[in-house]
Amino acid sequence: MGKLRDLWHGDSERAVNAPRPVRVAPGWDVQPEVLPTKPLAPRRRKYVHVRPNNRDAVALPHPGQSYNPLHDDHQDALRVAVRKLERKKTADEKFVAMMTNGRDVPITGNFSADKTWEEKVQERPQKTQKKEKSTEKEECKKKKKKKDKKKKAKKTSVQAARRALPHRRHPKREIALKEADALDDIIVEHQQREKRREAARERCRAARREKMQVKSFGRYHHTPLALDVAPTDKLVGSLRHLNGGYIHPLTERMKSLEERNLVPARMRHTYNKRKVLKPKGEVRVKRETFGVMPETTF
């Protein structure tokens, strides 16, 4: 038997691809896999961004699934999805029945014959009657009011006299008044129309919100039903897309061309742009002051 060679540590015969220890400091030889590969390279993110609109050019099939699913395959998948939906629907109906239980039962009983109720009402403390005010003060007040009224009447009569002067009156006053009346009608009509439109918009918004919202009744969280099964004619390349929304045929066509390498695949670079955090409140700009700058002539 020949001499055993130490491939890793022997100086004369060294394995070609053996990772050499790196001398970090005198007396510190560190295995290279411990060190960062590029110390100055930007650090990799700790989390992966979720890009919901990024669809792989060729959707990876599930194990045992064909790359081009047949109509029957789709029907099978639909069957599964529909079964799930039916379950969801029955659970939903059960839940709604539980929540609305007893709503349609009318209230029985006679409040007027219920003695305890009467007693409760009678227990309320009666309001304390206000003391009668001194009559002198009231007389004084009445006199004051009379004086004020007289003053006001005088003022208004003077103003009316002034307004009646012909040189103060607008020359086309009647025409202006007519136009203003018409304008009022138009404004009222416009406001009504706006109200109707806004109400319609609000109804649309409410309907949309209803579909999206998770309603919580106490400890119950209840998601309203949203059917997420597409019919066969909307079937896209693979069975993964069964529970998607409806995809526009043009997008689908484009994607299929990309999948068959008939057009170069488009780069998706519009999703998840980094959001720059905006400062809250007052923005302070850091300023550098150099003190007195010398006045030089160059």
- The answer to whether the pTM exceeds 0.85 is no
Average pLDDT over every residue of 260-277: 66
Q: Is 23 helix (H, G, I), strand (E, B) or coil?
A: strand
Distance of CA 149 to the CA centre of its chain: 59
Instruction: Give the SS3 label for residue 90.
Output: helix
> How far apart (Å, rounded) are the C-alpha atoms in residues 144 and 30?
102
Rounded-to-integer distance, Cα 130 and Cα 36, Å: 87
Tell me the C-alpha distance between 131 and 245, whole Å: 74
**pLDDT in the model for residue 238:** 47
Q: Are the beta carbons of 239 and 73 closer than 8 angstroms?
A: yes
Collapsing DSSP to helix, strand or coil, 67 comes out as coil
Share of the chain above pLDDT 70, in %: 50
d(CA 127, CA 114): 25
Q: In 213-274, which ranges are continuous DSSP H helix?
A: 249-259
* Collapsed DSSP state (helix, strand, coil) of residue 28: strand
Q: Which amino acid is at 48?
A: V
- Mean pLDDT (whole number) for 185-197: 92
| Res 237: pLDDT | 47
Could you give the CA distance from residue 194 to residue 188 in angstroms, rounded to a whole number?
A: 10
pLDDT for 241: 46
CA–CA gap between residue 151 and residue 144 (Å, rounded): 11
Question: In degrees, to the nearest 5, what angle opens at C-alpha 36 toward C-alphas 33 and 39?
Answer: 150
Cα angle value 139/144/147 (rounded, 5°): 130
For the stretch 173-183, pLDDT in tens is 788 888 888 88
Rounded (10°) CA dihedral 36, 40, 45, 51: -130
pLDDT at 199 over 80: yes
Q: Which pair of structure tokens corresponds to residue 184? A: 């009022």
The per-residue pLDDT for 295 is: 66
Q: Could you give the dihedral angle defined by the CA atoms of residues 116, 120, 122 and 125, in that order, rounded to the nearest 10 degrees?
A: 160
Residue located via tokens 């009646």: 164
Q: What is the tens place of the pLDDT at every residue in 61-98?
A: 666 666 666 788 778 888 888 888 889 889 888 888 88
Please compute the mean of the pLDDT values over residues 231-240 and round it to a whole number. 50
Annotated domain spans of the chain: 145-225
User: What average pLDDT does the segment 12-34 reach?
Assistant: 76
DSSP for 139-175, please give it. HHHHHHHHHHHHHHHHHHHHHHHHHHSGGGS-TTHHH
Give me the pLDDT at residue 208, please.
Answer: 74
> Judging by beta carbons within 10 Å of its beta carbon (0-12, 13-18, 19+), is residue 239 exposed, middle or buried?
buried
**Distance separating alpha carbons of residues 222 and 219, to the nearest angstrom:** 10
Residue 148's pLDDT band, with cuts at 50, 70 and 90, is confident
- Which of helix, strand or coil describes residue 135? helix
Per-residue b or e along 211-224, where b marks 16 or more CB atoms closer than 10 Å to that residue's CB: eeeeeeeeeeeeee
Find the mean pLDDT for residues 210-239: 59
Is residue 162 exposed (0-12), middle (13-18) or buried (19+ Cβ within 10 Å)? exposed
